[in-house]
Amino acid sequence: MKAFKTIFGVAAMVALLGFSFSVNAQENGNRDENGKVVRGAYETNPGSANWFIGLGAGVNSVYNNKDFGKFGLATDVNFGKWFTPSVGARLGWRGWSNEAKNGGAYYDGQFDNFHLIHADLLWNLSNALSGYKETRFWDIIPYATFGDLYTRAKDVPGMHGWEFAAGLGILNDFRLGKHVDLFVDISAVQSREAAFYKAAEDRYITFPSVTAGLIFNLGKSNFDRHSSITPVVVPVPFTTEQYNALKDKVAALEKENAALRNRIAELENQKPDTVYAESTAAPASSVVYFNIGKATLTDREKAHLEYFASTLDKDAKVTVTGSADSGTGSASLNDRLSKQRAEYVKDLLVNSYGLNADNITVDNTVDLFDSPAKSRVVLVK
């Protein structure tokens, strides 16, 4: 029992120190100009990013509610991924070499080989409380572990088996470089003593352990925050009455324009020396903005596009250029999204606003403007 208390006393001390360090450390890069902790939001990394491999070894003991085993060898191999700066998961194998004894009513013999195939849910307490910082030296990561435990008795032939196991642990991650970390893992896993002897249904056995080793971070290992830049959109006045009035005015201008065209035709037939024709000027170009990851417009942006289209001649030659920002998603996704946006706007111009499809040229690009939010657009000119 003394060894059991010693191991968990060390675990509690490490957790307390880590909590204090994470809360009180004034980290550069994870606070705003007022000193307030910044916790996101973060851009979604590709599936190949934020993977890691951990290899370690250490000591363990065994407690079965009656006897406390000696200290033995513990090994640890795992493979995992961080989904956000605070949430991750890993799969792994733990091996213990130790002795668990219990004589009389349940079994006689020594169990010396233990193997745990496990899955862990990781929570980075340092990032959750103090904000994400890639270069932080010490991260405190509590976790819950679940798995299947295999046991074997070295001096009782045929006494072995599998049993469900679960437990808790604290992973202390010390940064050595961009792709290599040192870890100290303190954990305790519990299973039914039926893992040893099927008649012991109401007893449990506990495996406390401490291991240390290296974590190797694979590929892209950091997270990037979303840009806070929002494009300035010049508001177009639109109450319902103003919008209807504008439509009526546009219809009147179109009628006037048709009359002018007829008058020009008459003057051309009269063969004058010089013919002057008036025309209405249309805006040189228009930009409509899309929400992140979307290929359709909001009602407000549709109103902007409709107003611009109403100022164009139905046979006007128009270039539609779709764009996406490279800071979000993969290159193939951005190329596809920019094309979808351009085709969507062309479809509105043709089917909703009456422009001639043969006179519309469609193009696409990435990062049309100088910021991510400004580049989620379609330019019509």
**What is the CA angle 84-85-89, rounded to 5?**
60
| pLDDT surpasses 50 at 162 | yes
Predicted pLDDT of residue 99: 65
Q: Tell me if the bond preceding 41 is cis, omega within 30° of 0.
A: yes
Q: Please give the CATH topology (third level) of the domain spanning 2-218.
A: Porin (2.40.160)
pLDDT in tens, 79-90: 999 998 889 999
Rounded average pLDDT over 25-30:
50
The pLDDT mean for the chain works out to: 79
Predicted pLDDT of residue 258: 92
Rounded average pLDDT over 17-34:
50
pLDDT in tens, 168-194: 999 999 999 888 999 999 999 988 776
CA-wise closest residue to 143 among 78, 230, 223: 78
pLDDT in tens, 264-283: 888 888 765 555 444 444 45
Lowest pLDDT segment from 57-71, 162-176, 321-335: 57-71
For the chain, residues classed under CATH 3.30.1330.60 are: 240-380
For the record, the structure tokens of 50 come out as: 């934020």
pLDDT in tens, 107-123: 444 556 778 899 999 99
Rounded average pLDDT over 233-256:
81
SS percent in the chain: helix, strand, coil, step 5: 25, 35, 40
The one-letter amino acid code at 252 reads A
Rounded CA separation 380/46 (Å): 31
Predicted pLDDT of residue 173: 94
| pLDDT surpasses 90 at 343 | yes
Q: Is 265 exposed, middle or buried (0-12, 13-18, 19+ CB in 10 A)?
A: exposed
| pLDDT surpasses 70 at 236 | no
Predicted pLDDT of residue 251: 92
Predicted pLDDT of residue 269: 83
Sign (positive or negative) of CA dihedral 281, 285, 291, 293 = positive
Judge if pTM exceeds 0.75.
no
Q: Phi and psi at residue 107, in whole multiples of 5°?
A: -165, 160
| pLDDT surpasses 70 at 195 | no
For the chain, residues classed under CATH 2.40.160.20 are: 2-218
pLDDT interval class at 200 (50, 70, 90): low
Q: Which CATH number fits domain 240-380: 3.30.1330.60, 1.10.510.10, 3.30.710.10, 2.60.40.10?
A: 3.30.1330.60
Predicted pLDDT of residue 160: 67
Cβ neighbours of 207 (radius 10 Å): 25
CA-wise closest residue to 139 among 91, 189, 75, 183: 183
Lowest pLDDT segment from 15-19, 137-141, 301-305, 317-321: 15-19
pLDDT interval class at 25 (50, 70, 90): very low
| pLDDT surpasses 60 at 24 | no
| pLDDT surpasses 90 at 221 | no
